[in-house]
Amino acid sequence: MTISIQGVSVSRGIAIGQIHIVQHDQLDVREYSIRNSQLEDELSRFNNAIADARQQLRAIRGHIPVSTSVDISAFIDTHLLMLEDITLTEEPKRIIKERLCNAEWALKLQRDALVNVFNEMADAYLSTRRDDVDHVVNRILRVLLKQKPLLHEVPDDHLKNRIIMADDLTPADTVLMQHYGIAAFATEFGGPTSHTAILARSLGIPAIVGLHSARRFVKNDDLVIIDGSTGMLLVDPDKSTKSFYEKRQREVKRYYSSLGKLKNAPTESKDGIPIILTANIELPKDFETVRDVGAKGVGLYRTEFLYMNRESPPDEEEHFETYLNVLKALRGLPLTIRTLDLGADKQVDGAGSQIGQVRSNPALGLRAIRLCLKEPGLFRPQLRAILRASAHGPVKIMIPMLTNIEEMQQVLQMLEDIKSDLDNNSIDYDSDIKVGGMIEVPAAAICADIFAKKLDFLSIGTNDLIQYTMAIDRVNDEVNYLYDPLHPAVLRLITSIIKAGKKANIPVSMCGEMAGEREHTQLLLGLGLREFSVHTASLLEIKKIINNTNIDELSSLIKKVHNTSSGAEVNLLLQRLNTDQI
């Protein structure tokens, strides 16, 4: 009998194959006392275990193919760095000495203390750090307990085409298994922001997370199907279910390979309206892909990733060099650099102490432009570097999370000051550089006309605009159900921002996730959006929908949309439009 288990879809695609269950055995750690005379031996046993764990991670990193993106090896490097951190390398030794206990127990006590600190911080980014601590500690414990290497860390062919099922996966597991040719991942824990999810998307492997207790219903070698689009795991499918998914797998494959043809095609609706389709980028690996998918430039470069996994913020030179690298990869395509958007769920070490503590409502706190204006020492080097980079290629500046026009006036004043400083030092920059703002706070959306008069362009950040309009924390699972891009309030705000831009004769783009969600493309075209900035992975799919849409024919549907009273009604109206999508 086919069993279906619903999880959270994190990476699209269909995989059919035999399951391989990864057992991260429960490590049985017990305390025992040691005598003073055994202390030195126990301390060196601990030191050796750290050295062995380091060695294992280096070996895993050595297995990563050169073609794998840098952010993946960065996950392993994070674990290696943790093995250098005194909280893991020295603190347990202090506990061993103090309690005269075994190394495993000391390490366990230290892990519990660290995890408690992370647990108190209700923050998505920091909670992934908690997982990192667990993964690294378990690796050391396995060495101390003389456990055999995990089966999936033994390099051979036994995982090829297998579907991996685990409680959770470490970044190292994920990378290794991908290298061994696995077909998909499914985990019981983790959410859309977990490392497994990020890696699966980045590696293009179908994946589902949050399949609570699923391992009770499967055993090794069972045949399963993973539908990464719906988040469904099917165990022991009957013949007709299997052939349905085999057919669907072929269709999906055909569909994605057919999109490649669109790379050099213009982006234009069926009734001849040209649309600008640009890319959202974050990490160095994204720089090259912009041209690979035929994007017309970068509509959102999230620079906060420059600040992650480091002790101190990047200086002006590092900003400048990075922007030059992006410009080089773009070879003449325009680059919109979004200034620092740290705070809320984007806490990083690399901003030093400047962010301050995480407060109880971080999303409503000192974030993005608010933080930058409060900390000019953090902001000025970035603005100066952007201006300098503008002498080397087409660059625009985009300010996140504007709430009132005074913030914008302060930014413009800072830019003027930096420009005269550059003039005084005979340093080149584009004196006509365009400065735009993200409209993602309802106050700014309602007053978009005011911003449109002062700015060169607007970009709608729907991720935050929806969060703030619906009064929900975008990283809180419990209120995720209210995250509705189709809520009439959201659609009214989007419509009025687009109109404000039109009236002021300035471009309006959308760079939030909604712009890259295929089920919303036609709606957005109908509402008047003419510029989309999306992830490179979804760009060609969005182009295909745009090129197949007759915008003029959407007008009666849009009238109906404006008269609906709920997101669910809009969804029903859109379903008819979206029927031919894969």
294: CB partners within 8 A, 6+ apart: 262, 263, 264, 265, 539, 540, 543
267 binds, among ligand PEP, Mg ion, none (CB under 5 to 8 A by kind): none
Least Å from the CB of residue 188 to Mg ion: 31
Query: 302 touches which of Mg ion, ligand PEP, none (CB within 5 to 8 A by kind)?
Result: ligand PEP
Is the Cα dihedral 279, 414, 348, 190 positive or negative?
negative
CB 398 within 8 A of CB 337: yes
d(CA 389, CA 232): 46
Q: From residue 330 to residue 349, what is the string marking binding to ligand PEP with x (rule CB under 6 A)?
A: -----------x--------
Q: What is the DSSP letter of 203?
A: H
Least separation in angstroms between residue 302's CB and ligand PEP is 5
Hey, which residues does 438 pair with through a beta bridge? 459
Burial state string for 329-356 with b = 16 or more CB within 10 A and e = fewer than 16: bbeebbbbbbbbbbbbbbbbebbeeebe
d(C-alpha 327, C-alpha 489), whole Å: 38
- What is the enclosing helix (H) or strand (E) of 338? strand 335-338
512 is a site residue for ligand PEP (CB under 6 A):
yes
11's CB contacts (< 8 A; 6+ apart) are 197, 200, 201, 204, 205, 206, 207, 228
For residues 9 and 339, which CB has a smaller minimum distance to Mg ion in the complex? Answer: 339
> Any contact of residue 104 with ligand PEP (CB under 6 A)?
no
User: Pick the catalytic residue: 101, 372, 447, 511?
Assistant: 511
Residue 302 interacting with ligand PEP (CB under 6 A): yes
Question: Measured from the CB of residue 409, what is the shortest distance to Mg ion in angstroms?
Answer: 21
Residue 511, binding choice from ligand PEP, Mg ion, none, Cβ under 5 to 8 Å by partner class: ligand PEP
Torsion of CA 281, 286, 289, 293, to 10 degrees: -30
At 139, which helix (H) or strand (E)? helix 124-144
Among 208, 224, 511, 529, binds ligand PEP (CB under 6 A): 511
Minimum CB–partner distance for residue 337 and ligand PEP (Å): 13
CB of 12 to ligand PEP, least distance (A): 20
Residues lying near Mg ion in the complex (CB under 5 A): 440, 461, 464
80 touches 309 (CB < 8 A): no
Under rule CB under 6 A, residue 473 binds ligand PEP: no
Work out whether 461 is an interface residue with ligand PEP (CB under 6 A): yes
Residue from 440, 473, 484, 541 in contact with ligand PEP (CB under 6 A): 440
In sequence order, the β-bridge partners of residue 338 are 302, 398
Q: Known catalytic residue: 195?
A: yes
> Is the CB of 440 or the CB of 531 nearer to ligand PEP?
440
Residue span 384-423 as binding mask against ligand PEP, x where in contact by CB under 6 A, dash where not = ----------------------------------------
Give the contacts of 209 (CB within 8 A, at least 6 positions apart).
7, 8, 10, 186, 187, 189, 190, 191, 192, 194, 196, 197
- Closer by beta carbon to ligand PEP, 275 or else 439: 439
Q: What does the DSSP 8-state code read for residue 396?
A: E
Binding partner selected for residue 462 from ligand PEP, Mg ion, none, CB under the kind-specific 5 to 8 Å limit: ligand PEP
Q: Which does 541 bind (CB under 5 to 8 A by kind): ligand PEP, Mg ion, none?
A: none
511 is known as an active-site residue: yes
DSSP reduced 3-state for 438: strand
Question: From the candidates 20, 79, 152, 195, which is the catalytic residue?
Answer: 195
By annotation, the residues acting in catalysis are: 195, 511
Which residue ranges make up the site for ligand PEP (CB under 6 A)?
300, 302, 341, 440, 461-464, 511-512
